[in-house]
Amino acid sequence: MPTIYIDDNPYEVKEGKNLLDAVLSLGEDLPYFCWHPDLGSVGACRQCAVIQFQDEEDEQGRLVMACMTPASEGTRISIQHPDASQFRENVIEWLMVNHPHDCPVCDEGGECHLQDMTVMSGHNYRDFRFKKRTHRNQDLGPFINHEMNRCIACYRCVRYYRDYAGGGDLQAFAAHDHVYFGRHEDGVLESEFSGNLVEVCPTGVFTDKTLKRHYTRKWDLQSAPSICNHCGLGCNTIAGERYGTLRRILNRYNSSVNGSFLCDRGRFGYEFVNDDARILTPVMKNVETRQFEEVSEDDAVAKIAELTRDKNSVIGIGSPRASLESNFALRTLVGSNRYSSGMSNAETELVNLSRQILNDGPAHSASLKDVEKSDAVLVLGEDLTNTAPMMALAVRQAVRNQPVEKAKQAGIPEWNDNAVRELIQDEKGPLYLATPTNTKLDDVATKTYNAAPQDLARFGFAVAQFLAEESPKVIGLDEDVKSMAKSAADALKNAKRPLVISGTSLLNKSLIQSAANVAWSLCANGKKAEIALTVPEANSMGMSFLEGQGIESAFERAASDDIKTAIILENDLTRRVDSKAWNQFLKNVENIVVIDHLENETTAAADILLPAGTFADSDGTLINNEGRAQRFFQAFEDDSAVQESWRWLQGVLDLGKDTDVSDWYSLDNVFSAMTKSVDTFKGDIVVAPDAKFRINDQKIPRSPYRYSGRTAMKANVDIHVHKPPQDPDSPLSFSMEGYSGKQPSGLTSFFWSPGWNSVQSTNKYKNEVGGELRGGDPGIRLIEPKRNASPKYFTEVPEPFSPREGEWLSIPLHHIFGSEELSAKSFGLSKRAPEPYVALNPSSAEKLGLQMESRVSVKLDGTEHTLPITLHENLPDGVIGLPVGLPDFNGIPLPNWSKISGATE
Amino acid sequence: MDRPLTHHIQPDKQPLSLKKYEKQGGYQAVQKALRDFDPVDLQNHVKEAGLKGRGGAGFNTGLKWSFVPMGDDAPRPKYLVANADEMEPGTFKDRLLMESNPHLFLEGIILSAYAIGAEKSYIFLRWAYHLSKKNLEKAIAGAYENNYLGENIQGSGFNLDLHIHISAGRYICGEETALLNALEGKRANPRAKPPFPQTSGLWGKPTIVQNVETLANVPGIVNNGINWYKDISNSEEDGGTKLYGVSGKVKNPGLWELPMGTTSREIIEEHAGGMQDGLKLNGWLPGGASTDFMVEEHLDVPMDYGSVMEIGSRLGTGTMIVLDDQTCPVGMIENLEHFFAQESCGWCTPCRDGLPWTEKILHAIEHGEGKMEDLDQLARHSKWLGPGKTYCALAPGAVEPLQSGLKYFREDFERHINEQRCPWS
Ligand SMILES: Cc1cc2nc3c(=O)[nH]c(=O)nc-3n(C[C@H](O)[C@H](O)[C@H](O)COP(=O)(O)O)c2cc1C
Ligand code: SF4
Ligand code: SF4
Ligand code: SF4
Ligand code: FES
């Protein structure tokens, strides 16, 4: 560890850092703009200037940029030196030359890095007395607001958007003090990760447009640490509320999961929480009028207790979008053999298979950070950008690892961002993509292979065969596919951290099995192979731990056994089964009890309907695809009857008296009841600090220290010191009161540090820049590999796909915007969702005599859909694609064989 | 007097054909180097001759070449780039060479490429130099035909391709690393050093960027040797001749090849014929717009790198801009800062936002709206935009005429402010 001297004090720093990184990692302050913990250094803004001395004798020193200077052994610098501090003050003054002086009307105000750095640099009065230059703003679509006059030209936005996230439509234009950051013309920012601009931009140029619709300042928010519930990756978020509405989602740094970024589904998908269709009171259907009528909470619970008295007549259908605790409560109520995961049979099987692979095999279940660190990647089947978005962003970083290693060997430190990019140019490490059609990662792929799902699986099996003789052979593979499999196998074998990615999105078992074979065969070669399997929803993996049956099995049971009542937990079943099956099910059961937060087709069919909390107004635990259990906390509490589903069920259980649930008054107790009684959870598991946790006898606040105080908490209603709601489920207080130091890592409702009001304060919460949060990253892995297990290769290699005459294999195509139920209901996202379509390749279209503007009729399981066509150059012959889960186009069983009857103009 | 750079140039300035150039001894240096010199020997030869870069920075050329990785495992391809951007105000020396003596320039490129083992070379040409382009294209075609370019040059096994790239026309494109970015089709922002272009230059490969005039010096050194090169100079330290130019209100503005270290007095009074009648010399920028003013007391300073540096300015490109007593120095400096502010690439803060500020202040002073505090602001900018503060050398160059103007013409600034008008208008 090199020793460096800062203003004559010695400090030990980690090898290979630059001075700015070193200074910040030591917890010291030094202002900066163009540097960013995830983007490295470029030396543009000149804000981080310090004086560097040659040696102890050197009294003069020279001005250097800390971010561009290695913190090598014996480096001597002064931060305090008047030349350095005056220069830094000057830099602010220059930046402010054209910057508007109207923080009070700027959306960034109160959490602005420019404000913070201005104060830190000591610049106060300006001498510039001329006119400012002004810019035109652009309409960048529903997510991002653009106010170019606030730009300080730090170049972070384009470096993030283009270099880091691979976007193409945001650029720096023009030169000198006219540099302009935007699109070539107004229009929606195309990147699926555009929302991070809001946090990357140190000023109010790029701000959250969805927040703008119900704007509030950071210091007026009441927030909670949360977990994104819009895909299976479980990115960590901060959910911020004021006056009973959820105002925004921010990233919550977790170095093992999402690091500093989120996808746009995760960031902008929150507005369903505020939807008019929220269910706020318990209702019961009037037997005669079939209309919902309000009932008291007690009556509703009593009624359900009555219906569930005879357990044998009840089934419970849980949900992969509900918490473990709520699912567990349902399972307890109905009994584990009458409990369903709320996923289709196929999905249930695949998620179970995934857990089994990760749990029993020798390959390590990859976190997102592991994905980012891998240096050779094989993707089998997943269109990651649309099925597990942040994993796509991680893969985009992973392909840099091999070339960056070369740059390091050439003596260029990794943080010297432009120099590294210059040296490696377009060189990419190995990434082999096997997907049904083109994906948004193709541009960084070494090779792509587009084929029908079973052929992709055959490809995967072939890769494994090249790595391990004992894994099953694939007969009759085309030579070019074989040679691609060989080169993929070689690349993985030659890598230090090889990674295989697959998942459930194509609902193809063989694909996942082939991925396991590849990962395991790498392990057999002595590699520490990683495997990442994506799952559909926020708690899909959790469902596998609770071992419920699939929906179809539950429906069968409802048909055969004497089932009178079904309790459906946070699940719109009409999205998961076709309408025939659903209608039959409704006929088979007499009473439908639904607990959910938004009205949908399933809640419409309820006889009793109870209001559940969303992620923002309830607490709970989710398990992500990696097997990491993570807790989300309630951001706010309102006066409605909304509560956690498990609380409703606890009420029912309590009346039923079969199970002693008297201590189920807190989430912790429900969770520990679960880990005790469900075998798949092994012993004591601590996901997050429990509700009794205190620091210096104090709770951890949800609101920042600069909150206006409790008098103003409900200033929209009255000015009065309200007693804050009690929270039995977490150690968080519903106010700014409590411990005023740094919150523990899992309980961070806001990032803030003296002098650091912006998200850049996150650095103060880390062990070091880019490192873990102090006290360790939150969450706990419940799945670890059996490193020494000898691989039990899957042996069923599927037959090659053969197109059928007159029939088409329709496969699911996922959309980051639109395919996920809840986010699709949010204002911004709904504008980005595609219209339903059918995708096929141009030669198929030609064969069918279709024009681009044709509409076709697709017949599937006896249902006919009339759809416009979309041409996908790379879809295989005999295969068509249909979008998954769109708001008005779902519940279609895929994959499936279908018939297309030509143009019906 | 030896004039190795210009002796091929005919009175009508028409370039020699390749054959005629060969007859006058042209391409002998290429023949000789390929036959007698190992590339590293050639590097050392040029280093010892003391050739310094004529693009403005004055770095020893052979020494620069010695940082290029050589040998079989050096990254490939390697590049030699001729910097023919010549956007420096008042500078028109490379133009003469390219328009009227293109083969000498090509010979310099071939030799230098050979010395560093480059197989590809580019001429990065100022957009406005149409005649240069035409004459170069013709010369390049001839060089290919006669196997001075292309594969296995003169049977030596050395290959070299040469392309002309026409710049989009920004001053910053002449800065060598911005030039490389521009050549790659990127925004013309400079790059941080290290790594230097010698190891990671064009498309991340070893690259040498060299000024046109610098390159044109190489054939003479190869042909005539180190001692000759030192002898033809008047300077203690720097070898060779220099293309000195004068613009401004002199009798005979122009460009002359003279021994390195010729004094300003000789250049202005003898070669440029002195000031136009009725005008007096007030000062001059010795080497383009981005150098500090020199004034009368400096007339006898030898115009070489070290001597000019000693009196606080820079030789720069060696092409002077002369200021006469009937032209307002504030107006002149305002004009220059307008140019620099506009040509800032916009990458780093001090230059991007500081230079326009100086321009606005100068404009105010020149138009009768100046305040005394403005002079402090200008001084502050001169200080904080100086060497080492900004990302590249554009801004430090930009404040050189400003800081020296404040020093030598302070009274004129004050008069503007006191009288709230330009005394010259
Ligand atoms: C703003 C700026 C503009 C420059 N323009 C030119 C130019 O037009 N031509 C040139 O040869 N060098 C120019 N230079 C100098 C080059 O960066 C570089 O030092 C030179 O091309 C190296 O060649 P030399 O060693 O042969 O002089 C410029 C430098 C700066 C900072
Ligand atoms: S828009 Fe924001 S991120 Fe981009 S350059 Fe301007 S201030 Fe920096
Ligand atoms: S990748 Fe998934 S978990 Fe992460 S922010 Fe996006 S939708 Fe949420
Ligand atoms: S000093 Fe900075 S802004 Fe100016 S040209 Fe150089 S890099 Fe660009
Ligand atoms: S942060 Fe170091 S120069 Fe911008």
Decide if pLDDT at A84 tops 60. Answer: yes
Q: Write out the H or E segment, with its range, that includes residue A582.
A: helix A579-588
- Which residues on B lie below 8 Å from A425 (Cβ)? 203-204
Which domain CATH number covers A431?
Answer: 3.40.228.10
The answer to whether A82 contacts chain B (CB < 8 Å) is: no
Contact A386, A816 (CB under 8 A): yes
Domain membership flag for residue A79: yes
How much is the average pLDDT of B13-33? 97
Q: Whole-model pTM?
A: 0.97
Which domain CATH number covers A69?
Answer: 3.10.20.740
Higher pLDDT, A848 or A396: A396
What per-residue confidence (pLDDT) applies to A903?
56
How much is the average pLDDT of A497-506? 98
What domains can you pick out in chain B, each with its CATH number? 18-231 (3.40.50.11540), 241-324 (3.10.20.600), 329-419 (1.20.1440.230)
* Average pLDDT over all residues of chain B: 97
At residue B11, what are phi and psi to the nearest 5 degrees?
A: -55, -35
- Which residues on A lie below 8 Å from B345 (Cβ)? 175-176
Give A182 to chain B, closest Cα distance, Å: 15
Give B167 to chain A, closest Cα distance, Å: 16
Say yes or no for a CB contact (<8 Å) between A419 and B200. yes
Domain membership flag for residue A277: no
What per-residue confidence (pLDDT) applies to A849?
87
* Cα(A405)–Cα(A396) distance, integer angstroms: 16
**Closest Cα in chain B to A41:** B192
Number of domain units in chain A = 3
Question: Hey, whose CA ends up nearest to atom 2 of ligand 1?
Answer: B175
How sure is the predictor about A111, in pLDDT bands with cuts at 50, 70 and 90?
very high
Q: Which amino acid is at A492?
A: L
Domain membership flag for residue A400: yes
- Which residues on A lie below 8 Å from B366 (Cβ)? none
How sure is the predictor about A719, in pLDDT bands with cuts at 50, 70 and 90?
confident
Which domain CATH number covers A880?
Answer: 2.40.40.20
Residues B213-228: tens digit of each pLDDT: 999 999 999 999 999 9
At residue A158, what are phi and psi to the nearest 5 degrees?
A: -70, -35
The answer to whether B380 contacts chain A (CB < 8 Å) is: yes
Nearest ligand atom owner, CA of B174: 1
Residues A563-610: tens digit of each pLDDT: 999 999 999 999 999 999 999 999 999 999 999 999 999 999 999 999
Nearest ligand atom owner, CA of A207: 2
Find the A54 Cα to ligand 5 centroid distance in Å.
21
The answer to whether B203 contacts chain A (CB < 8 Å) is: yes
How much is the average pLDDT of B373-389? 97
Domain membership flag for residue A228: no
Residues A6-44: tens digit of each pLDDT: 999 999 999 999 999 999 999 999 999 999 999 999 999
From the CB of residue B193, how many other CB atoms can be counted at a distance below 10 Å? 14
Domain membership flag for residue A261: no
How sure is the predictor about B236, in pLDDT bands with cuts at 50, 70 and 90?
confident
Regarding beta strands A838-840 and A896-903, do their DSSP bridges make them parallel or antiparallel, or are they unpaired?
A: unpaired
How much is the average pLDDT of A885-899? 93
| Token pair in block for residue A191 | 């990147």
The answer to whether A155 contacts chain B (CB < 8 Å) is: yes
Say yes or no for a CB contact (<8 Å) between B389 and A425. no
What per-residue confidence (pLDDT) applies to A706?
85
Q: Tell which residue, B196, B175, B165, B195, has the closest CA to residue B345.
A: B175
The answer to whether B168 contacts chain A (CB < 8 Å) is: no
What per-residue confidence (pLDDT) applies to A718?
84
What per-residue confidence (pLDDT) applies to B31?
97
Domain membership flag for residue A176: no
How much is the average pLDDT of A492-505? 98
Find the A33 Cα to ligand 5 centroid distance in Å.
6
What per-residue confidence (pLDDT) applies to B231?
96
The answer to whether A180 contacts chain B (CB < 8 Å) is: no
How much is the average pLDDT of A878-890? 95
How many helices (H) does chain A have, and how many strands (E)? Answer: 26, 36
Contact B136, B98 (CB under 8 A): yes
Residues A252-306: tens digit of each pLDDT: 999 999 999 999 999 999 999 999 999 999 999 999 999 999 999 999 999 999 9
Shortest-distance atom of ligand 3 to CA A388: 1
Per the structure, the complete domain to which residue A528 belongs is given by: 348-536
Shortest-distance atom of ligand 4 to CA B395: 1
Contact A628, A782 (CB under 8 A): yes
How much is the average pLDDT of B79-92? 97
Q: What is the ipTM of this complex?
A: 0.96
User: 3-state DSSP call for residue A675?
Assistant: helix
Question: Hey, whose CA ends up nearest to atom 8 of ligand 3?
Answer: A266
How much is the average pLDDT of B191-205? 97
How much is the average pLDDT of A884-900? 93
Decide which of A474, A504, A536 is a domain's last residue. A536
How much is the average pLDDT of A159-165? 98
Share of chain B above pLDDT 90, in %: 99
CA distances from A885 to A303, A410, A791, B147 (A): 34, 49, 36, 67
Ligand 1 probe mutation, B63, B175, B215, most atoms within 8 A of CB: B175
Q: Tell which residue, A69, A37, A121, has the closest CA to residue A765.
A: A37
* Average pLDDT over all residues of chain A: 96
Residues A317-367: tens digit of each pLDDT: 999 999 999 999 999 999 999 999 999 999 999 999 999 999 999 999 999
Share of chain A above pLDDT 70, in %: 100
Residues A202-235: tens digit of each pLDDT: 999 999 999 999 999 999 999 999 999 999 999 9
- The region of weakest confidence among A710-719, B179-188, B231-240 is A710-719
How sure is the predictor about A898, in pLDDT bands with cuts at 50, 70 and 90?
very high
How much is the average pLDDT of B339-367? 98
Q: Tell which residue, A307, A529, B43, has the closest CA to residue A316.
A: A307
What per-residue confidence (pLDDT) applies to A714?
81
Question: Hey, whose CA ends up nearest to atom 5 of ligand 3?
Answer: A266
Decide which of A63, A96, A129 is a domain's last residue. A96
Decide which of A40, A73, A96 is a domain's last residue. A96
Domain membership flag for residue A373: yes
Who lines ligand 5 at CB under 6 A? A 20, 32-35, 43-48, 65, 67
Higher pLDDT, A854 or B44: B44
The answer to whether A43 contacts chain B (CB < 8 Å) is: yes
Domain membership flag for residue A609: no
Name the residue facing A412 among B195, B203, B343 (closest C-beta).
Answer: B195
How much is the average pLDDT of A737-755? 94
Question: Hey, whose CA ends up nearest to atom 5 of ligand 1?
Answer: B174
Give B204 to chain A, closest Cα distance, Å: 4
Decide if pLDDT at A674 tops 90. Answer: yes
What per-residue confidence (pLDDT) applies to A391?
98
How much is the average pLDDT of B177-205? 97
Rg for chain A (alpha carbons), in Å? 28
CA distances from A471 to A462, A513, A790 (A): 9, 11, 12
Decide if pLDDT at A905 tops 60. Answer: no
Number of Cβ pairs < 8 A linking chain A and chain B = 107
**Contacts with A, B 5-44, CB within 8 Å:** none
